[in-house]
Amino acid sequence: MIRRLYILMMALERQKRQQLESRVLQLVHPAFVAMLGHLRSKALDKFKTELEESLNGGRGFAASVRDSTQSSLLQFDQECSDVAIKQADWDESRVREKLIRDIEAHATSIRSIKLSDLITYYEKQITEELSEPVESLFDTSGRDTWASIRKLYNQVADKAVSGLSATLSGFEMDQVSSEKMEMNLKNHAKSVVEKKSREAAGKALISMKDRFSTVFSHDNDSMPRVWTGKEDIRKITKEARAAALKLLSVLVAMRLDEKPYRIDNILNSTLGDAPSAKERGIVASSDPLASSTWENVLPENTLISPVQCKALWKQFRTETEYTVSQAISAQEAHRRSNGMLPPPWAVIAIAVLGFNELMVSGLLSISSKLLPTIMNIIRRLAEAGHASPSSGSQQPSPQGPPPLGTQSLRNPSQRQVPVPNPTPEVSSSSSLVSSPRNHGDQTTQPTKKHIDEADSESSTS
């Protein structure tokens, strides 16, 4: 009986203890769950910190993620075992799975950011290494422009792809994804070249006119050309237009591959100054520029279509004709100015004697020839105009003509006795020229003998 009573009491005590433990565990469980959440957050923070430190240390992304994940989960498991309650059969695996998902999400986010930064870095590098050099190559376009652009493009793209590939190895990506990113980087390099090409093509007319002006207005030593009349303007114009046409042929299409192109030949044969097909005796079946595409050129690589080239060249010719006409006018003006220069002997005389002495001697020479002629003319006029009816029947005195001084031309009231002057002087001729109004008052007329002597003096001088 006592034994049974003891067993009953023990059963009741066990039941109460279980009830009490169950009640206590119910009270403790929320705190346990909160503790697990705290441990999860702590482990996640540990993962983030260690991952950042590992990446900053130069380790690969995949290896850094693995090591940081392992360290964080190990810490979480240890701390979970420390807070575990033996009497409770609580499972913390769900919290651990949540921690793993959080770690993977954070790693994926960091991975995307790192890859995006890598792409941005290499794209910026490509843009900086391609933009200005390609623009400069277009400004100085020549025969090997696209060969130089192609070489530069390959060098820059290969350098960027190589750097990206080395960095991507730390991400342990699959080959397909890695090759796709590398291809995108090459496409970016191509897009930079295409952008600069289209910008240059949009300024084709301005660039052609600048190239024409540079070649036309400067000599082979890049010195400004002076139009002295000795230059062959036709030849210079042909060279300047050929340079502009060469520039146009560079700008019409992108050529980043090694395919053969006939763009230069087509433009030279149709727009250049070479003999036309008609002049060579060849009948063209069609106009090669009457098309919207170039031979062997994809539509997306076409910058200026053949039809646009034809219109562009026509406008270029029209707008550069003025420059040529100005040069021709400058040559003609230079020739005219050269025609007004003194003869070579006069230039030599000026250099030897000096300008002042030459002018004095020239004036004296002209006066010695001109003044006797003027005197002769005046004497003839005086003989014809001053003959009066009263003296018309009189014979001229055989003793010679009276002197032709200035006093003989005065009015009768002012006339004085003339001083004999058998030889005409320059002063008397000047007096005759300065006082023509007094001829009607003269009473003494020149004789024929005196006129003949003046004529002989004029002819002798």
Task: With respect to residue 59, please indicate whether it lies within any of the assigned structural domains.
Answer: yes
Task: With respect to residue 221, please indicate whether it lies within any of the assigned structural domains.
Answer: yes
The pLDDT assigned to 379 comes to 80
Q: What pLDDT, in 10s, does the model give residues 256-288?
A: 988 888 898 999 989 987 544 444 444 445 788
User: How many distinct structural domains can be found in the chain?
Assistant: 4
User: Do residues 145 and 248 lie in contact, with contact meaning Cβ atoms separated by under 8 Å?
Assistant: no
> 331 and 266 share a domain?
yes
Q: What pLDDT, in 10s, does the model give residues 40-90?
A: 999 999 999 999 999 999 899 999 999 999 999 999 988 888 877 665 667
Q: What's the chain's length in residues?
A: 461
> 185 and 227 share a domain?
no
Show Cβ contacts of residue 437 under 8 Å, excluding neighbours closer than 6 positions. Answer: none
Q: What tokens appear for 31 in the block?
A: 């705190």
The torsion angle over the Cα atoms of residues 438, 439, 444 and 446, rounded to 10 degrees, is 140
Task: With respect to residue 169, please indicate whether it lies within any of the assigned structural domains.
Answer: yes
The pLDDT assigned to 348 comes to 65
Helix (H, G, I), strand (E, B) or coil at 83: helix
User: Do residues 332 and 312 lie in contact, with contact meaning Cβ atoms separated by under 8 Å?
Assistant: no
Q: Is the dihedral of CA 351, 354, 356, 362 positive or negative?
A: negative
> 254 and 271 share a domain?
yes
* Beta-bridge partners for 302: 253
Q: What tokens appear for 64 in the block?
A: 């850094």
Q: What separation in angstroms does the CA of 240 have from each of 26, 223, 234, 379?
A: 98, 15, 10, 69
DSSP string, 109-173: HHHHHHHHHHHHHHHHHHHHHHHHHHHHHHHT--TTHHHHHHHHHHHHHHHHHHHHHHHHGGGT-
% of the chain surpassing 90 pLDDT: 45
Beta strands in 5-71 (DSSP E): none
Q: What separation in angstroms does the CA of 34 have from each of 24, 38, 251, 283, 452?
A: 16, 6, 70, 94, 151
Cα(207)–Cα(141) distance, integer angstroms: 10
Q: Is the pLDDT of residue 321 over 70?
A: yes
Task: With respect to residue 134, please indicate whether it lies within any of the assigned structural domains.
Answer: yes
User: Of 62, 85, 108, which residue constitutes the final position of a domain?
Assistant: 85
> 330 and 277 share a domain?
yes
Task: With respect to residue 109, please indicate whether it lies within any of the assigned structural domains.
Answer: no
Backbone phi, then psi, for 218, in 5-degree steps? -130, 145
> 197 and 222 share a domain?
no
- Domain span at residue 37 reads 2-85
> 182 and 163 share a domain?
yes
Mean pLDDT, to the nearest integer, of 26-46?
Answer: 84
Task: With respect to residue 413, please indicate whether it lies within any of the assigned structural domains.
Answer: no
365 pLDDT band (50/70/90 cuts)? low
Task: With respect to residue 242, please indicate whether it lies within any of the assigned structural domains.
Answer: yes
DSSP 8-state secondary structure symbol assigned to residue 340:
T
Mean pLDDT of the chain: 77
> 216 and 306 share a domain?
yes
Cα(434)–Cα(155) distance, integer angstroms: 95
**By C-alpha distance, which of 375, 383, 353 is closest to 434?**
375
Q: What pLDDT, in 10s, does the model give residues 169-205?
A: 999 889 999 999 999 999 999 999 999 999 999 999 9
User: Do residues 454 and 424 lie in contact, with contact meaning Cβ atoms separated by under 8 Å?
Assistant: yes
Token look-up 């230079």 returns 334
Q: Is the pLDDT of residue 209 over 90?
A: yes
Task: With respect to residue 346, please indicate whether it lies within any of the assigned structural domains.
Answer: yes
- Distance separating the N- and C-terminal Cα atoms of the chain: 189
Q: What pLDDT, in 10s, does the model give residues 130-159?
A: 999 999 999 988 889 999 999 999 999 999
> Diameter of the chain by CA atoms?
213
For Cα atoms 432, 435, 439, give the angle at the middle one, nearest 5 degrees. 80
**By C-alpha distance, which of 401, 386, 406 is closest to 446?**
401
The pLDDT assigned to 352 comes to 58
> 191 and 215 share a domain?
no
User: Of 202, 224, 251, which residue constitutes the final position of a domain?
Assistant: 202
397 pLDDT band (50/70/90 cuts)? very low
Decide: residue 11, CB within 10 A, 0-12 exposed, 13-18 middle, 19+ buried. exposed
Cα(36)–Cα(80) distance, integer angstroms: 7
Cα(71)–Cα(132) distance, integer angstroms: 49
> 141 and 186 share a domain?
yes
Decide: residue 10, CB within 10 A, 0-12 exposed, 13-18 middle, 19+ buried. exposed
Q: What separation in angstroms does the CA of 167 have from each of 49, 62, 121?
A: 22, 11, 12
165 pLDDT band (50/70/90 cuts)? very high
**Overall pTM surpassing 0.85 (yes/no):** no
User: Of 185, 202, 219, which residue constitutes the final position of a domain?
Assistant: 202
Cα(177)–Cα(183) distance, integer angstroms: 10
The pLDDT assigned to 349 comes to 57
**By C-alpha distance, which of 129, 257, 262, 135 is closest to 198?**
135
Helix (H, G, I), strand (E, B) or coil at 253: strand
> 374 and 280 share a domain?
no
* Candidate from 247-261, 328-342, 379-393, 414-428 with smallest mean pLDDT: 414-428
Cα(306)–Cα(293) distance, integer angstroms: 7
